Amino acid sequence: MKNQRKEEASWIDEFQTNQRYGLLGKILIVKKSAVQKITIVETERYGNGLLLDDCWMTTEKQEKDYHECLVHPAMCGAESLERILIIGGGDGGSARECLRHTEVKHLDLIEIDQEVINLCQEYLPKIGGTAWSDPRLNLKIRDGIQWVENTKDNSYDVIIVDGSDPKGPAQSLFNRSFFENCKRILKKGGVFAAQTESPEAFYDAHMDTVKMIKTIFEYADPMYGSVPIYPSGWWSWTFAAKDQARYLHPSTTRASLISMDCKIWSPRWQQGAFNAIPAYVERALKQ
């Protein structure tokens, strides 16, 4: 049986300019939704995984390396955690991490593609886990751009942008007007968080996005870590706030409730990850 699986496995690659990033595995299903191409795979090393338009999004055995880092600096830094917004995040991993915080009363998860939710619930159910049945979750299949445009000022304590790369359906999640609306609908003591690509594999996208967020919010800083399945394995998340750089100072009470069950995130890890800004990025941000 083991031999048989190995014979069926082949390289599943994300192709970027002059590079490719792959895992050995089997393709379980490929679907073209109205929005994008969705591929579900079974990998030898990281369990079942999801690709959108042939780019790696998540796998069961390393998703925490990404979701914990996107979510907890924001959730442990915001003044209050009553109302949370996630744009994207159709695998449910960001929602699961947010809902571990018992102060959360309401979470809007705005995903553009119902098919992503369906396939993740079927093939990667542990990533969303109990979030899918949590009464605090309000799942809407909507365009995130329109959602933030139509939301009134000061609506959310935390806003998390868990989209894919800046092309295709996620392109507009990297636009100035989108970030400006996020700022407008964020409460004064709130925290904004977004995945901001790789400082190595996607230098231009990373720099453009971090610079833009910095010009919009009063306080903003990128944080760096490792996501093995993404191009170069070196990834970033950027956090922003209106009243103070509150994402740099995690609440010890909140951290103590969640960090023992985290794989990567802890207040100590977070401090190092903000300090791990590469010198070439720090220099470029000052120009």
Enumerate the active-site residues: 162
Which range binds ligand SPD by CB under 6 A, 29-37, 54-62, 181-189, 204-212? 54-62
Q: Which of 12, 23, 51, 55 binds ligand SPD (CB under 6 A)?
A: 55
Binding map of ligand SPD across residues 195-214, x = CB under 6 A, - = no contact: x-------------------
**CB nearer ligand SPD, residue 187 or residue 193:** 193
Q: Which of 179, 230, 234, 239 binds ligand SPD (CB under 6 A)?
A: 230
Interaction of residue 71 with ligand SPD, rule CB under 6 A: no
**CB nearer ligand SPD, residue 99 or residue 251:** 99
Nearest distance from C-beta of residue 138 to ligand SPD, angstroms:
18
- Its sign, for the CA torsion 128, 56, 271, 213, is negative
Near ligand SPD in 255-284, by CB under 6 A? none
Q: Which of 25, 49, 89, 169 binds ligand SPD (CB under 6 A)?
A: 89
Rounded Cα–Cα distance for residues 287 and 284 (Å): 5
Rounded Cα–Cα distance for residues 116 and 42 (Å): 16
Which range binds ligand SPD by CB under 6 A, 87-95, 115-123, 139-147, 171-179? 87-95
First to last CA, the chain: 58
Nearest distance from C-beta of residue 180 to ligand SPD, angstroms:
22
Q: Which of 39, 43, 151, 164 binds ligand SPD (CB under 6 A)?
A: 164
SS3 177: helix
User: Which residues are paired to 195 by β-bridges?
Assistant: 237
Nearest distance from C-beta of residue 151 to ligand SPD, angstroms:
21
C-alpha distances (whole Å) from 136 to each of 28, 83, 126, 177, 287 are 32, 10, 18, 29, 43
**CB nearer ligand SPD, residue 53 or residue 103:** 53
Rounded Cα–Cα distance for residues 19 and 129 (Å): 34
DSSP state of 230: S
**CB nearer ligand SPD, residue 194 or residue 220:** 194
Contacts of 265 (CB under 8 A, 6+ apart): 68, 69, 72, 73, 258, 259
Interaction of residue 160 with ligand SPD, rule CB under 6 A: no
Q: Which of 42, 60, 91, 111 binds ligand SPD (CB under 6 A)?
A: 91
User: Which residues are paired to 87 by β-bridges?
Assistant: 110, 161
Nearest distance from C-beta of residue 253 to ligand SPD, angstroms:
27
Give φ, ψ of 154 to 5 degrees.
55, 50
DSSP state of 152: P
Nearest distance from C-beta of residue 140 to ligand SPD, angstroms:
17
Interaction of residue 93 with ligand SPD, rule CB under 6 A: yes
C-alpha distances (whole Å) from 28 to each of 142, 208, 212 are 27, 36, 39
∠ CA 57-59-64 to the nearest 5 degrees? 95
Binding residues (CB under 6 A) for ligand SPD: these are: 55, 57-58, 66, 89, 91, 93-94, 162, 164-165, 195, 230
